[in-house]
Amino acid sequence: MPFEISNISINERVQMLNGYYRHHAAIPVLRHALNDPIVGDVALVSSFGAESVVLLQMVSLIKPETPVLFIDTEMLFPETLEYQVELSEKLGLKDVRVIKADETAIAERDPSGTLHKSNPDACCALRKSEPLEKALSGFDAWITGRKRFQSGQRAELTLFENEDNKRIKINPLSHWRKGDVRDYIVDNDLPRHPLVAKNYLSLGCAPCTSPVKDGENERSGRWRGVEKTECGIHFDNGTTARADAE
């Protein structure tokens, strides 16, 4: 009888996967995740940001036909859009999908393009969380580049997570340190995002991203001056990013 992941709950699958691969390094974890029937159909979600090249390169070597979902909020830095095209071609990624918010929703909820000033959570919901949720609806799991060192909210990351009993989140780099990322990029001679040289160490939308100062956490440049640390796609229930979307 063929293996059916629908016969096993997401929570059980996550526990099994964390048990199987908890001592594995990032590349073996990713290789298994992209081929293990317990995981199912997988997409990589990438911002093509400061450290995205690590996972993108790994996926290109292991399974270049893996769907790569890139959310274009239409507020990104021009350098990010250029980097996305150039890097996709250089790595030979075969299925990069550019995801955007519905034009009607933008016209109704952010016609002036200034929602990020009055309600950044609602803006993130409109331009990131909701389009991504729609794009992920056909997948059983998705790969993220989150790491424990990035912030307190990510300090307890596991390799596999249950996302609201909808699908599995895969965090192959969860145990990596900042130096591991830097060394991997250097050792593999990977192209950096052009804004990294200007101290943009965590890149999002242009209006809500600033350079990081010496001694600051790398995500300090995101939503500076606002009590917000996540865009919403990584909250367990999404409520923070969606609560005031209307």
Q: Report whether pLDDT(13) > 90.
A: yes
Q: Report whether pLDDT(232) > 70.
A: no
Question: How many residues can be counted in the chain?
Answer: 246
Percent of the chain exceeding pLDDT 90 equals 68
Domain count, the chain: 1
Q: Report whether pLDDT(225) > 80.
A: no
Task: State residue 201's pLDDT score.
Answer: 86
Domain region containing 73: 5-242
pLDDT one-digit tens code per residue, 15-51: 999 999 988 999 999 999 999 999 999 999 999 999 9
Direct distance between the N- and C-terminal alpha carbons of the chain, in angstroms, rounded to an integer: 47
Interval 210-220 mean pLDDT = 81
- Return the structure tokens found at 198: 């200007």
Helix (H, G, I), strand (E, B) or coil at 45: strand
149 pLDDT band, cuts 50/70/90, is: low
Q: Report whether pLDDT(239) > 90.
A: no
234 or 149, which is more confident: 149
**CATH code of 132's domain:** 3.40.50.620
Q: Return phi, psi of residue 60, to 5°.
A: -65, -30
pLDDT one-digit tens code per residue, 70-118: 999 999 999 999 999 999 999 999 999 999 999 999 999 999 999 999 9
Q: Which of 132, 162, 143 lies closest to 241 in space, CA to CA?
A: 132
Q: Report whether pLDDT(238) > 80.
A: no
Q: Report whether pLDDT(2) > 50.
A: no
Catalytic residue, candidates 124, 205, 208, 231: 231
Interval 183-212 mean pLDDT = 93
Task: State residue 53's pLDDT score.
Answer: 97
143 pLDDT band, cuts 50/70/90, is: very high
3 pLDDT band, cuts 50/70/90, is: low
Distances (CA, A) of 158 to 34, 67, 77, 192: 17, 23, 31, 27
Q: Is 205 a catalytic residue?
A: no
